[in-house]
Structures are given as structure tokens and as C-alpha cells.
Chains A and B, each alone.
Chain A
Amino acid sequence: MVKILENKMIVPNICMITVSAPEIARSVQAGQFVIVRADEDGERIPLSVSDWDVDQGTITLVYILVGKTTQRLATLTPKDILPTVVGPLGNPMEIDLFGKVACIGGCYGLASIYPIARALKEKGNRVTIIVEGRSSNLMFWQKKLKSVSDQLIVITRDGSQGIQGHIGNLQTLFARPGMLPDRVIVNGCNYLMMRAAEETRPLNIRTIVSLNTLMIDGTGMCGVCRLTVSSSTKFACVDGPHFDAHEVDWNELAQRRKAYLSEETQLLRSSLPQEC
């Protein structure tokens, strides 16, 4: 039973929840996730830990509303409790002195890239954060992101903030003087991570992605999160969630992500008050 301290929508369709979880706050490291259940009959979903406070004993998760569980999560208030928040699970992101690191975030990845950038910066790297989104109204945490980076670059599709463009312009961006990073880390939807990987492949920059697969237990017990990396099967929960982007079988990953699409849609429909 976990107490909710704050839960609010920060930009359209993306919410931020802070819960009391002192044990997790003490042991979590950048790049780890928790498994959450929103109610007793609910499913178990993995969410990245985007921030934490050891003294307060709290962790913060940022989630996008996609299915019934996240929709349900969004309705909860500090009066409610979460039946399950378990973790921290998965391996931490590899943090070392790499030199120049580009941390790229899209969607909920704007938040989950934050602790990774913070750890890299603390280690002494020169950190550039690149955030990508449809429009400026979908951007959040910019102040926080600036505070843990040497440079923050915003890319919007409609040009309402920063550079007009999308993740496919990464090569052009890296071609600017002094912009070529030694390592790239990408957090966000599968499409963003895959496109970023395509961009960095010809430049031969080591690129790490934090994958968000289906999961149940999150401890290596069920294997639903399996994927192919360098032609061998890995479990995202215990072998990952961070993998070499140039070795991931992206097509398989995308197909496996969609395995329950029709069931998820059915649930979502049935949880809406009434169909119009």
C-alpha cells in the first residue's frame, strides 16, 4: 500500500505522480523502473522512476495516458492509495565519464532522461539534452533539465519552440561544430528511439536506448518482455532495460508491443462512461 502525495496532468495527456516509497527512494539509481498497479483488479505496468528524494522518501513517475491503467492512475488523488509500487527494477543506466553525451527525450522520456542526465553530469560529462515533441505545449521540466545539462536543445515539429524539425534531423544537428557526441542516450516511445538509432548508426556513435516493453512481474519470471538484441533473446526486465540501439531488432519489438492492442482498446472502450 503506497500513499499518493501528488498526482496531476502536467501537459496534455502526460501526468506526474509522486508517491511515498522510502525504501525505493533509498536504493533507486538512474535508469531504473518500478511496477505499478492502479487498483486491486488492475494490471501491472512498468514506469520509469523520473525523480526521487531520499530525505522525503518519495519517488516521482511521469506517465502518458495510453491504456486503462494509466487512465485509471490519472483519476487518483492524494486521498487514494496505490496497491503496488515495487522496485527499483531493471539495471541502472551505465554511468561513466564518456566525454560529450547527448541525452534525448521525447514524450514521457523528457522526464525519465532527467535522472540519467543528472548522473552523467555529476560524473563530469558534458551533457547536451535534446527534447523533441510536436509542439511547445507538450514540453515540460525544462528548468529541471537545464539544471542538469550544459545545453538544452528543443525541437518541435511545428516550430513553436526551438528548432523546427524532428528526430530525423539529428545528423544535421550533430554536424554543427562541436556538437558530435561520444555517446547518445535516448528515452521515449519506440519510434523515437528507433529513428534516433538510425540517425546515429552512420555516425558510428554508441547509442543506448531504454526500452519500454510489456511486463508482468518485472523480475525475470514471465519472459513477456523478451526481445532480440545482437541475434540473441534478452529479457528487458533483468537484462535491460538499456540496450545498444544498433543491435535491437526494432521490428520485432514494435510487433510484440502491439500484441494486446485489440484487448487494450476493448478495455479502454468499456471503461469509458458511454460511447457517443
Chain B
Amino acid sequence: MPENEKPKPKIDLNRREMPKQEHHIRSHNFFEVALGYTAQLAMEEAQRCLQCKKPFCVADCPVNIKIPEFIHAVAEGDFASGSRILKERNSLPSVCGRVCPQEEQCESHCALTKKGGTIAIGRLERFLGDWEGAQAEAALPEMSTPTGKKVAIIGGGPAGLTAAADLIKAGHQVVIYEALHKMGGVLYYGIPEFRLPKSIVDREVDYLRRLGVEMHTDFVVGKTRSLESILEEFDAVFIGTGAGLPWFMEMPGNNLNGVYSANEYLTRINLMKGYSYPRNDTPIKRHQKVAVLGGGNVAMDCARTALRLGAEATIVYRRSRAELPARLEEVENAEEEGVQFRYLTLPLKTIGGDHFNVTALECLKMELGEPDASGRRSPVPIPGSEFILPFDSIIHAIGNGPNPLIPQTTPGLTIGKKGNIVIDLETGKTSKERVWAGGDIATGAATVISAMGAGRKAASSIHEFLVS
């Protein structure tokens, strides 16, 4: 802690817990797990903030939210001001408050972290976002005078929505083209209802619509219309088409019935509302024993979804708990709800039975060896340790590649080895005139907030280009 910041006489280290649905109840429903702070809890939590003069929390926020300022407003009970300050930098506070990994970003640098009393910045952000959403109509920010310039945004996910918000506030005309029938991208099809209710995504999208952003769903740029033809009509284009190409582990049996990509499994349930089948038409199978391959947040989402659909869910991961890439909070939630974990286990083969259905997974035991390039101890196979686990469904949650539609259909875009669009990381500029890109399509599958950060950087570079 810097010397010039003397702690206030009494430091309250009691981080206020956010109420949650009991685990034995929530594991059987799709309602949101965390219930959010009450106004009282939010104010108590905000009042603990030291209001550092040099706030380290802000430096690590990809969208530079004025954290101490909005927390100060909450502490005073002035939620309207808090909300306004928050929205200056973040158009999707209710989303970010829920899905950002705050413990690795703003909260990890909180002055109280060392003392074990980190301010719950994410929970306060969520509280403000939800508070505003509950008001009759969210206040609109001041808008710049129209510039007469037009920007097309390809992809209605977190990168595109953020870029759209910044650009429209700067006075440009903004049109978003989204391939699916709902706006939100991964916020809609990927993140489950129990972590991010779709009504919240709809509300944040609606806010952008009220700002004047024009949105076209069911429009696949590269197919419905080429990017070239869009460029003729617009002054600049931002591509934020995300990581929409699922990877499967290379092993036999991947095309058996009952094997899913995490994308398919989650899309069926989130976008298509498969959890309410047969009220909604998109069918889902009621599997009994589901294995999820992978250890990231998406793997946790799949396992917890399977659990809620009545299955016994097991995460199969080749390293140990310490190396899980998922957020600790999500791992703990999954454990509490009853997801089982098979660590140090490498899937070798999916075994099928009658009617081409999955019956089992053949695996190999692993042990931890030396740290690898990622700094995590690498798993080493134990020869001869093959064993078979019975499952009737296998979900591959090992990541996604960039969606190939735009790279394949747009001449003049430099494409990286992994199929990503190559950009200047500072500005988001691509190799093509008047075209920017950002988020997973450029930098590979990552978090919602990093995509939003990329959308913001690109928007600022686009703005600079348009007004110069």
C-alpha cells in the first residue's frame, strides 16, 4: 500500500457474502444461482472501500471502469449516480458483474486483498446494473452530435456490443449484423441461464437499441452479404464474430450419438431453451451419466447444466484440481452442487453400443510431471493404466477455434495460423482498409471482458479514423 494512503481508523475486512440459492435446491433448477446484494448489503460493502487515491483496481480493468467513484456513490446510497459512472465505461454492467473474472482483475489489486478483505467489486457492479434495470427506464447518457459516419459491426456478442455502444455515444451511426436469431452471441447461446439470465442480456441489448443502435439478427455476413459489399455502404467495419468452431479431442468414437461439442450442448439448452423441452421444440436427451472433457469455465457450465437436467455429471480432466483453468468460484459451485471430478484422467476413446449410442469412455491414468510452457505441471501418462468408465453422453469442452465464415469469404484479410484474423493489438486494425476486428475471432477463445476490452480499443481507433 502506498505510504500516502493512511488506512481509515477502522478497516472492515468482512467482505459481505452475496446470497445464493441453496446448492441442493439450485442443482435442480435453471434459476440464477447467485441472488445479488440487497441495497443494504451493497451499501455496507461499498462503505468498506478505502477510496484509494491511486486505485490499483482500475488499472487492471480491461475497460477502465472508474471503480472507486462508482463504489463511493453506492456507499452514499446514490445508486443513480453510481450507475451513471459505471455506464460511462461499461455498457453491460449486469453482464460483467456476473461473468467477469474479477478475482484475477480489479479485485486482485484491491488494497484490502492482502488483509483478506477484498472489496467485492463485481458484486457491486452487478448490484448497480440490476438496480438500474429495475427502474422504469434506464437513463440515457449524453450523446455527441451526429457525425454522419456509419459503422457496421459484425457479430452481436460482447466485443461487438461494446464497440457499438462506444461508437454510437461518439455520434456515429451503428448497425449490428448478428447471425443467430438473438443478440448477445456467447452471452446468449453459451453462458447458462443459471449464471446469466437471458432476460438480463435482453435488457442490456435493449439499452443499446434505445441509444439508437440498429440491429439485424438472422444475418450472416459472408453469406447473406459479403463483407466487401457492406464496406461499400459503411465508413468502417468491426468484426467480432467470436470463437465459433468447436474442437473435439482427437480420439475414436466422436461421432457416436450422445457426443456433443460444448457449443452444441449449451446452444440447445440456452439459445433454443432445450431445458423446457417439450414446451420448446428443440429436443434434448435426458442422459443418465454425462462426462465433460475439459476443465475450463465452459466445462463447468456443461457439467452443471447436465446436473440440472437430472444426470450424474463428471468432469474428466487430465491434470489436477490446482491446474483447472476455470474460475475457482465456478469450481466450488460445481462441487457444492454435486458435480464429480475425475482428475489425472486422459480420455482415450468413446465406446458405442446399440443404435450408435455412447456407452462408455476408455481412459488412461496420469501423474503430474514437470511444469510446462504454461507454468502448470504437465500430466504424464501412466503406461498400462487404461480403465473404462460407463457414460451415456460425452461433452467435449476443450475450446473453440475462430469462426471461419468471414476469414474464408473476405479477400485481403491477413489470417493467422490458427485461423484467427490478425490485428494490431493496440488498435484492433486488420490488414484490410477500414476494417477492425477484436475478441475471440482475433485473439482466440478468452473471457467476455477481454472481448469487451478489444471492442472498446477498436471503437476508439475507429472513432479517431472517422473524425480525422
Contact with B along A43-74 (1 / 0, CB 8 A): 11000000000000000000000001100000
Would you call A41 and B273 a contact (CB within 8 A)? yes
Q: How many residues on chain B are close to A (CB under 8 Å)?
A: 42
The stretch of A143-151, A156-164, A189-197, A219-227 in contact with B is A219-227
Would you call B181 and A86 a contact (CB within 8 A)? yes
Which residues of chain B have C-beta atoms less than 8 A from A227's C-beta?
255
Contact with A along B189-228 (1 / 0, CB 8 A): 1000000000000000000000000000111100111100
Among B189, B224, B248, B263, max chain A CB count under 10 A is at: B224
Closest Cβ neighbor of B356 among chain A residues: A255
The CA of A226 and the CA of B247, in the complex, are separated in Å by 12
Among B220, B226, B248, max chain A CB count under 10 A is at: B220
Chain A's nearest CB lies how many Å from the CB of B283?
3
Considering only residues 9-23 of chain A, those with a C-beta below 8 Å from chain B are 23
The stretch of B14-22, B109-117, B264-272, B458-466 in contact with A is B264-272
A87 interface residue per 8 A CB criterion: yes
B404 interface residue per 8 A CB criterion: yes
Given the interface pairs A86-B219, A87-B223, the reply to whether A260 lies near B285 with Cβ below 8 Å is: yes
The CA of A256 and the CA of B223, in the complex, are separated in Å by 27
Would you call A219 and B179 a contact (CB within 8 A)? yes
The stretch of B36-44, B274-282, B319-327, B372-380 in contact with A is B274-282
Would you call A221 and B223 a contact (CB within 8 A)? no
B254 interface residue per 8 A CB criterion: yes
Interface of A, secondary structure class, is mixed
Chain A's nearest CB lies how many Å from the CB of B407?
11
Which residues of chain B have C-beta atoms less than 8 A from A24's C-beta?
224
B403 interface residue per 8 A CB criterion: yes
Among A23, A44, A222, A224, max chain B CB count under 10 A is at: A222
Contact with A along B112-131 (1 / 0, CB 8 A): 00000000000000000000
Which residue of A221, A222, A256, A267 contacts B281 across the interface (Cβ within 8 Å)? A267
Would you call B179 and A86 a contact (CB within 8 A)? yes
The CA of A223 and the CA of B264, in the complex, are separated in Å by 7
Q: How many residues on chain A are close to B (CB under 8 Å)?
A: 41
Which residue of A43, A219, A228, A270 contacts B403 across the interface (Cβ within 8 Å)? A219
Considering only residues 219-243 of chain A, those with a C-beta below 8 Å from chain B are 219-224, 226-228, 233, 238
Contact with B along A17-48 (1 / 0, CB 8 A): 00000011001000000000100011110000
Chain A's nearest CB lies how many Å from the CB of B20?
30
B368 interface residue per 8 A CB criterion: no
Which residues of chain A have C-beta atoms less than 8 A from B248's C-beta?
223, 233
Given the interface pairs A84-B218, A88-B223, A259-B257, the reply to whether A68 lies near B281 with Cβ below 8 Å is: yes
A139 interface residue per 8 A CB criterion: no
Would you call A83 and B181 a contact (CB within 8 A)? yes
Would you call B224 and A27 a contact (CB within 8 A)? yes
B338 interface residue per 8 A CB criterion: no
A252 interface residue per 8 A CB criterion: yes
Which residues of chain A have C-beta atoms less than 8 A from B404's C-beta?
220, 238
Closest Cβ neighbor of B247 among chain A residues: A223
Would you call A23 and B225 a contact (CB within 8 A)? yes
Would you call B246 and A223 a contact (CB within 8 A)? yes
Chain A's nearest CB lies how many Å from the CB of B390?
20
Chain A's nearest CB lies how many Å from the CB of B388?
22
Chain B's nearest CB lies how many Å from the CB of A210?
17
The CA of A84 and the CA of B261, in the complex, are separated in Å by 24
B405 interface residue per 8 A CB criterion: yes
Chain B's nearest CB lies how many Å from the CB of A226?
6
The CA of A266 and the CA of B277, in the complex, are separated in Å by 11
Contact with B along A198-233 (1 / 0, CB 8 A): 000000000000000000110111111011100001
Which residues of chain B have C-beta atoms less than 8 A from A220's C-beta?
244-245, 403-405
Which residues of chain A have C-beta atoms less than 8 A from B218's C-beta?
84-86
15 new A-B contacts at CB < 8 Å, known A41-B280, A263-B277: A23-B219, A23-B224, A23-B225, A41-B273, A43-B283, A44-B272, A69-B281, A84-B218, A87-B223, A216-B264, A219-B179, A222-B261, A223-B263, A256-B356, A264-B283
What would be 12 A-B contacts, judged by CB atoms less than 8 Å apart? Answer: A23-B224, A41-B273, A41-B279, A43-B282, A84-B218, A85-B218, A86-B220, A216-B282, A217-B179, A217-B244, A219-B405, A221-B267
Query: What 3 A-B pairs are tightest by C-beta distance, nearest first?
Result: A263-B283, A255-B356, A222-B264
